[in-house]
């Protein structure tokens, strides 16, 4: 009887103790899980902010690189009298001036040459990009640099440059990405001056007739060769044409 009575007292106590232990364990697990969840959320937020900052800096770099590449490309086209580097022969006179030999060039197409030179120059700017993202042991910093290093133009519409989409994989969230579609604007140069010079050289026969057709340029001659210099500070052009030889023509779309 004593044992039975003791058992009756012990069993309710054991049940209450079990409930207390279970509740405390559940609360502890819940607290740890909640704190861990908060930590992970905070860590992810930090990386999201860093990615946004990286993307914004990359977009600024793309925009400025596009502007500079456009300016550089136009200067190259001017320095080569409507052509890219290395497409024509050049002649340096005793006065130190170097003239582009138009007789040695292919068909005149300065607009196409400009855009090709622009793409080439822009690529060199992109290849020099270094990510601003904090150094990562998993190689995220290098991968973000390579996004710009290998960035390609999708298409060009008027003065707007549309680039291929940038996809940033977020650190600690490899299946989550931050996507950006870069767009930049340029001011396409005016190539009418090249057309004017070409038309004049095609129709004039000697120094006097060429000088009449091109009154805004400094013109001289040596034998059958005519030498032209532009005083335009924005686009300094220096050309020589041998009137005893034909020019290669110009593309029909260039007017």
Round the average pLDDT of the chain to a whole number and report it: 83
What pLDDT was estimated at residue 251?
74
Tell me the per-residue pLDDT of 192-210, one tens digit each, with 9 for 90 and over. Answer: 999 999 999 999 989 999 9
What pLDDT was estimated at residue 201?
94
What pLDDT was estimated at residue 174?
65
Reported confidence tier of residue 44, pLDDT bands at 50, 70, 90: low
Cβ–Cβ contacts within 10 Å for residue 190, how many? 13
pLDDT > 90? residue 186: yes
Q: What is the DSSP code string of 88-130?
A: S-EEE-TTS-EEEEGGGS-SB-HHHHHHHHHHHHHHHHHHT--
**Locate tokens 């690529």: which residue?**
123
**b/e per residue, 22-38, with b = 16+ CB within 10 A?**
eeeeeeeeeeeeeeeee
Compare 198 and 51 and report the one with higher pLDDT.
198
Tell me the per-residue pLDDT of 152-175, one tens digit each, with 9 for 90 and over. Answer: 999 999 999 999 999 998 876 667
What's the pTM? 0.77
Tell me the per-residue pLDDT of 56-79, one tens digit each, with 9 for 90 and over. Answer: 999 999 999 999 999 999 999 999
What pLDDT was estimated at residue 135?
77
What pLDDT was estimated at residue 89?
96
């Amino acid at each position: 009887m004593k044992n039975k009575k003791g058992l009756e007292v012990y069993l309710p106590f054991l049940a209450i103790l079990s409930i207390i232990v279970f509740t405390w364990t559940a609360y502890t697990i819940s607290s740890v899980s909640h704190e861990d969840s908060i930590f992970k959320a905070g860590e992810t937020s930090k990386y999201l902010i860093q990615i946004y900052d990286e993307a914004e800096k990359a977009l600024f770099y793309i925009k400025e690189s596009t502007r500079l590449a456009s300016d550089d490309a136009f200067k190259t086209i001017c320095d080569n009298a409507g052509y890219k580097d290395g497409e024509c022969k050049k002649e340096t006179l005793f006065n130190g001036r170097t003239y582009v030999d138009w007789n040695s060039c292919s068909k005149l197409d300065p607009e196409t040459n400009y855009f090709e030179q622009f793409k080439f120059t822009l690529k060199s700017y992109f290849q020099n990009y270094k990510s601003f993202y904090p150094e990562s042991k998993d190689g995220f910093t290098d991968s973000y640099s390579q996004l710009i290093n290998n960035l390609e133009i999708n298409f060009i519409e008027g003065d707007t440059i549309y680039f291929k989409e940038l996809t940033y994989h977020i650190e600690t969230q490899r299946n989550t990405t931050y996507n950006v579609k870069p767009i930049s604007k340029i001011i396409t140069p005016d190539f009418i001056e090249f057309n004017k010079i070409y038309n004049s050289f095609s129709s004039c026969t000697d120094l006097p007739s060429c000088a009449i057709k091109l009154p805004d340029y400094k013109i001289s001659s040596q034998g059958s060769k005519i030498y032209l210099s532009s005083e335009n500070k924005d686009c300094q052009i220096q050309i020589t044409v041998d009137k005893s030889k034909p020019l290669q023509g110009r593309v029909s779309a260039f007017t």
